Amino acid sequence: MKPIMPFVGRILFLLFLSIELFGAKAYLLQNSVEVGESATLVLSAKGNKIHFPKMEAIAGFPVVSHQSRQSMELTNGVLNRQLDMYYTFYPDKNIRIPSFEITIDGKKEQTEALELNMQASSAKPVGHQLFSLEMNVSNDSPLQQEGVKLTFIFKRDRTENLVDMKFSKPSLEGFWVKEGQKDTPYVEGDYIIHTISYYIFPQRSGELVIPKAKIDIAKQVNSREIFLSQIQWKSISSNELTLHVSPLVGATLLGHFNVEVQVDATEVEINSAVNVTIKILGDGNFEDIAPFALNAKGATVFADEPKIKTFLEGDTLKGEFVQKFSLSAQKDFRIEPIELHFYNPDTKKIEYFMSKPIDIKILHPEKAGKSSRGVSEPVTSPMEKVSFKFEWVNIGIGLCLGMLLFGFIQWGFHYERKGKMRFEGERELLQKLLKYKGKNEEATQMIILLEENIYGNAKHKLSKRVIKKLLKNLV
C-alpha cells in the first residue's frame, strides 16, 4: 500500500501542473525590482478567441508600453493558440496586483492576484552607485544672450552590461539651444563614462530653472521564461540646476564679432551689377544677428537672405554670418556705412563697428538716353541739315536698294543674335536685361519676374518664346 501513495501523489502533482497549461493566468517576470526599474506583468491565455482587458495602469502606476506574443502548439493532434500580453510599468513601492478577467472563446476566466515587492539596491561599497546622471554648466551666472556650455555626464559600473540607452534632455524653455557633441565613452576607475554637451543662450534675465534630465537604460535580466530574452528598463534622473541670468543692457549681441564689407567693383557700366558681401566672423549669439539693409540712394538694391553657420572650435562655439547684395544704377551712388554694436565680455563694454562709405562710379552715364524704341542709345551730336530734294526716279531706285539692303541686314542679324543673345540661367538673363530697365516696358516686367524668382524664392514660369521675342526686339 505504501508504494501506491507516492505514485498517486506524483500523478496529482502532474495533474496540478497540467491545469496551468489551459485557461488564463497572470505572472510577473520578476517578483521584485529596485526603485526606478521597470516591472512586467504577463497575462496569458489559450484559445481561439481571446479578449484581454484594456489596461492603462496597474495598481495606480501607468502602463508605459505593452506588446503581444502569439504561439501555436500541437498537442495530441490538436492545434492550440496561446496569446501572451506584456505590460510594463514603473512601481516605486510594494503593491498588490488584482485579479483580471479574460474572455476565452466566450467564457470568462479570472487570473490570480499577485504581489510585487521592492528590493534594496544591489550591495556595493558606501557611496558607490551602479548608475548616475549628472548635469552641470560652465557658468551659472551668465549675462542674457551669453553662451553657456551645458554638459550631461552618465556613469555606469563597468560590470553592468547594457542593451540600450535612451537620453531625454530636459525642457530648456527660455534658452536658445545649439547641440554640441557626444564624446567617445571612456573608462575612469570603476565606471564607464558617457558625456553629451549643448550650448544654451538665455533669452531673458532672472532665475532660469533647468529641470532634471533623464536617461532610460535597458539590460537583460533573468526571467521565469527560459526561452524568452527579457529586457528590463530602468530610469535614471539627474540633478536640477538654476541659472542666475543678469540683463544685457544696450545691446542684443554678446561675444566677439569681426565685420568685413567686400565689394567686387567700384566702377561699372550703367545698370551693371555691383556685388556686395557682408561677412562676420567670431563667437557669440550669431543667430540673433538681424539681416542688414543697404542704404544706397539712387541705386536698386537686391538682398539675399543671410547664411549663418556655427561650429565648435575647442570648447568655443564659433560662427559665420554672410549676406550678399546686388546693386545697379544709372548714375554714381554711395553705399552708406553699416553699423553693428555688441557687448564684449572681455572688456565688459559695448563696442561699435561702422564700415566706411563706398562710392561707386557709373561709366558712360550718357547712355541713359532713350530711343524711339524705348532702348538705350548713345547720345550723338546734332546732325547737319540735309536737303531731301531728289528726282522721283532716284527716290524709287533708292527705296528698292534700301529695302534689299535692309532685308539682307535683318537676315544677317538674325543669325548674329543667335550667337550673342544666348544665356545660361535666370541670373545671366537678368544681367543682360538690367540695362533696359525703365526704358522698355516688356523688359522691365521681365526683370521684375526674374528678381522675384532669384531673390524672393518665387516660381514664376517664364516662356522661352516670350524671352526669345523680347531679346529679338531689343537688338
Average pLDDT over residues 340-362: 95
Q: Considering the chain, what percentage of its residues have pLDDT values greater than 70? A: 77
Residue 377 has pLDDT above 60, yes or no: no
Of residues 475 and 342, the one with the higher pLDDT is: 342
Same domain assignment for residues 279 and 361? yes
Residue 387 lies in a domain: no
Query: Scanning the structure block, which residue is given the C-alpha cell 561699435?
Result: 352
Average pLDDT over residues 275-301: 94
Same domain assignment for residues 165 and 227? yes
Output the pLDDT for position 128: 67
Most confident of 228-242, 318-332, 369-383: 318-332
Output the pLDDT for position 199: 92
Same domain assignment for residues 223 and 272? no
Mean pLDDT of the chain: 80
Q: Range with the lowest mean pLDDT among 180-184, 222-226, 290-294?
A: 222-226
Q: Range with the lowest mean pLDDT among 2-6, 11-15, 394-398, 457-461?
A: 11-15
Same domain assignment for residues 144 and 214? yes
Same domain assignment for residues 259 and 240? no
CATH of the domain at 93: 2.60.40
Q: What is the pLDDT of residues 447-468, one digit of tens each?
A: 888 877 776 667 777 878 788 8
Q: Range with the lowest mean pLDDT among 245-259, 336-350, 381-395, 446-460?
A: 381-395
User: In terms of Cα–Cα distance, which of 147, 448, 187, 154 is closest to 313?
Assistant: 147
Residue 201 lies in a domain: yes
- DSSP string for 21-70: TSSEEEEES-SEE-TTB-EEEEEEEESSSEEPPP-SEETTEEEEEEEEEE
| Residue 203 grid coordinates | 533669452
Same domain assignment for residues 344 and 424? no
Same domain assignment for residues 197 and 267? no
Contact 270, 368 (CB under 8 A): yes
Of residues 30 and 261, the one with the higher pLDDT is: 261
Output the pLDDT for position 69: 83
Q: What is the DSSP letter of 169?
A: P
Same domain assignment for residues 231 and 153? yes
Domain ends where: 245, 268, 300? 245
Q: What is the pLDDT of residues 166-199, one digit of tens each?
A: 998 899 999 999 877 788 888 898 899 999 999 9
Contact 118, 93 (CB under 8 A): yes
Residue 98 lies in a domain: yes
Same domain assignment for residues 231 and 262? no
Contact 137, 79 (CB under 8 A): no
Q: What's the N-to-C CA distance of the chain in angstroms?
A: 125
CA 294-298-302 angle, to 5 degrees, is 40
Confidence label for 271 from pLDDT (cuts 50, 70 and 90)? confident
Single pTM value for the model: 0.57
Residue 412 lies in a domain: no
**Phi-psi region for residue 34, left (φ > 0), alpha (ψ -120 to 50) or beta?**
beta
Residue 41 lies in a domain: yes
User: What is residue 452's three-state secondary structure?
Assistant: helix
Same domain assignment for residues 260 and 348? yes
Reported for 388-396, long-range contacts at CB under 8 A and 24+ positions apart, including other chains, are none
CA 273 to CA 291: how far, in whole Å? 21
CA 209 to CA 244: how far, in whole Å? 9
Domain ends where: 181, 211, 245? 245
Name the pairing type of β-strands 114-118 and 32-33.
parallel
Residue 3 lies in a domain: no
Range of the domain at 139: 131-245
Q: What is the pLDDT of residues 296-315, one digit of tens each?
A: 999 999 999 999 999 888 87
The CA distances from residue 248 to 140, 202, 206, 296, 308, in Å, are: 16, 11, 11, 32, 23
The CA distances from residue 84 to 36, 42, 43, 67, in Å, are: 25, 7, 6, 8
Domain ends where: 307, 339, 367? 367
Q: What is the DSSP letter of 438?
A: T
Average pLDDT over residues 133-142: 95
Confidence label for 142 from pLDDT (cuts 50, 70 and 90)? very high
User: What is residue 114's three-state secondary structure?
Assistant: strand
Q: What is the pLDDT of residues 31-81, one digit of tens each?
A: 888 877 888 899 988 888 889 998 899 988 988 888 888 877 766 767 778
Reported for 190-194, long-range contacts at CB under 8 A and 24+ positions apart, including other chains, are 190/128, 190/157, 190/158, 191/155, 191/156, 191/157, 191/158, 192/155, 192/156, 192/157, 192/158, 193/153, 193/154, 193/155, 194/153, 194/154, 194/155, 194/156, 194/165
Same domain assignment for residues 135 and 188? yes
Query: Scanning the structure block, which residue is given the C-alpha cell 478577467?
Result: 101
Output the pLDDT for position 409: 47
Q: At 468, give phi and psi (nearest 5°).
A: -60, -45
Same domain assignment for residues 281 and 327? yes
| Residue 402 grid coordinates | 534700301
Q: Range with the lowest mean pLDDT among 379-383, 424-428, 432-436?
A: 379-383
The CA distances from residue 58 to 37, 110, 129, in Å, are: 15, 16, 29
Output the pLDDT for position 223: 59
Residue 125 lies in a domain: no
Q: Please list, in sequence order, all residues whose beta carbon lies within 8 angstroms of the beta carbon of residue 313, skipping any fewer than 6 positions away.
A: none
Helix axes 441-455 and 464-474, enclosed angle (nearest 10) = 130
Average pLDDT over residues 18-37: 72
Total count of domains within the chain: 4
Residue 409 lies in a domain: no
Q: What is the pLDDT of residues 82-114, one digit of tens each?
A: 888 889 888 888 999 999 999 988 899 999 999
Output the pLDDT for position 257: 97
Residue 385 has pLDDT above 60, yes or no: no
Output the pLDDT for position 72: 76
Output the pLDDT for position 214: 92
CA 365 to CA 331: how far, in whole Å? 6
CA 102 to CA 456: how far, in whole Å? 63
Q: How many CA atoms lie within 13 A of 177 on its CB side?
A: 14
Residue 2 has pLDDT above 70, yes or no: no
Average pLDDT over residues 16-37: 69
